[in-house]
Amino acid sequence: MTLSANSHSGPPVPTLEWIGDAGGFLRLIDQTLLPVECRHIECRTAECVWEAIRTLRVRGAPAIGVAAAYGVVLGLQDALDLPRPEFDARLNSVTDYLATSRPTAVNLFWALDRLRRVAVEETDLDSRQRHARLLAEAREIEREDREMCAAIGRHGAALLADGMGVLTHCNAGALATAGDGTALAVIFAAAAAGKRLHVYADETRPLLQGARLTCWELQQRQVPVTLICDSMAGQVMRERRVQAVVTGADRIAANGDAANKIGTYSVAVLARAHAIPFYVAAPSSTFDLSLATGAEIPIEERQPAEITHGFGRQTAPDGIGVYNPAFDVTPAEYISALITERGVIRPVNTASIAGALATE
């Protein structure tokens, strides 16, 4: 099914959506087809969700977490009559399996842990009732993510002034979350407040999330956007076309070091060289306080073919050696502020992050 683009809001259908009750399924936009086609797929098994995450049909840290939560529900749909020990064993094997889909975005592990904990707490329920409870929790994760995006937008919009050029990298928009996004939520909220912004979107080699997804989303929301190759960011800054950088994150360590799409670190260094503020927008589910610094964040390495045969065309000689890390880590010292649903964290360090994320 091909869906027409909607000119005044986010994607024409939700990025991801649970259809039906406990026997239902997960509907996802297949982001590998954008911007040419906006088509959805229906996942009815945990294997389908695993494949969708691994191949980036659904991608972006918060959206991966929400999809995985629903994947657990799918993986237990045929376990409703099992006694508790067998249900628990299935729950563990499904969550362990989904945890192997991608390594860097901590939202994946955060969501899976949360479902595991809920199931353990429900001691008085039978398997069918516990499954229903898991679906309710997955829905709650999705709802909270939507709210966190809105709050990130509200807090971050104050950092952008009328007339600014804003550079972003990869896609941290509605396609990457259950809501309006993280970095793009900041831009959408500022634009909604009447600030005239012009976005420069890095194309984001090798999978072009900036060109394919961010440009598509911004066009739909009628936010002025100009596409540039990643290698042009320095020149765009030197020409004073941008006054701020806003990106998302896949995992933020306790000291504020932030993993995000490969190329983000280079943009941060360039921003520092040009005295341009570099902001990272992310919900609390993207923080991993168990890691002291970003050096401990696992970095996904993807297939060489993404570089040598991008989008079906050979662009490098046969047999060439390739290194393809999908993420890099921007040291906290390059980050002017973290924009979270709890507010803006500045300066970025272990103490300020611990204070901001401490539960009331």
Positions that interact with ligand MRU (CB under 6 A): 56, 59-62, 105, 170, 172, 176-177, 181-182, 209, 248-250, 260-261, 326
Of residues 142 and 250, the one with the C-beta less far from ligand MRU: 250
**Minimum separation from the CB atom of position 53 to ligand MRU (A):** 9
Report d(CA 226, CA 199) in Å as an integer: 6
Catalytic residue among 180, 202, 230, 250: 250
Residues 61, 183 contacting (CB under 8 angstroms): no
- Rg of the chain on CA atoms, in Å: 20
List, in sequence order, the alpha helices (H) in 99-126: 106-121
Phi, psi of 287 (to 5 degrees): -90, 140
- Least CB distance from residue 62 to ligand MRU, whole Å? 5
**Is residue 57 within 8 Å of residue 18, measured between CB atoms?**
no
CA 176/CA 63 separation, integer angstroms = 5
Q: Which is nearer to ligand MRU, 208 or 276 (CB)?
A: 208
Q: Shortest Cβ distance from residue 158 to ligand MRU (Å)?
A: 19
Nearer residue to ligand MRU within complex by CB, 76 or 353 = 353
- 21 tagged catalytic: no
Q: How close are the terminal C-alpha atoms of the chain, in Å?
A: 46
Structure tokens at 205: 């080699």
Comparing CB distances to ligand MRU, the nearer of 17 and 300 is 300
Angle subtended at Cα 200 by Cα 249 and Cα 11, rounded to the nearest 5 degrees: 65
Q: Which is nearer to ligand MRU, 127 or 214 (CB)?
A: 214
User: To the nearest whole angstrom, how small is the minimum distance from the Cβ of residue 348 to ligand MRU?
Assistant: 17
Kindly state the smallest distance separating residue 64's Cβ from ligand MRU, in Å: 7
Quick one: which H or E segment has residue 73? helix 61-75
Distance CA 273, CA 176 (A): 29
Handedness of CA 245, 308, 101, 52 (dihedral sign): positive
Catalytic residues: 250
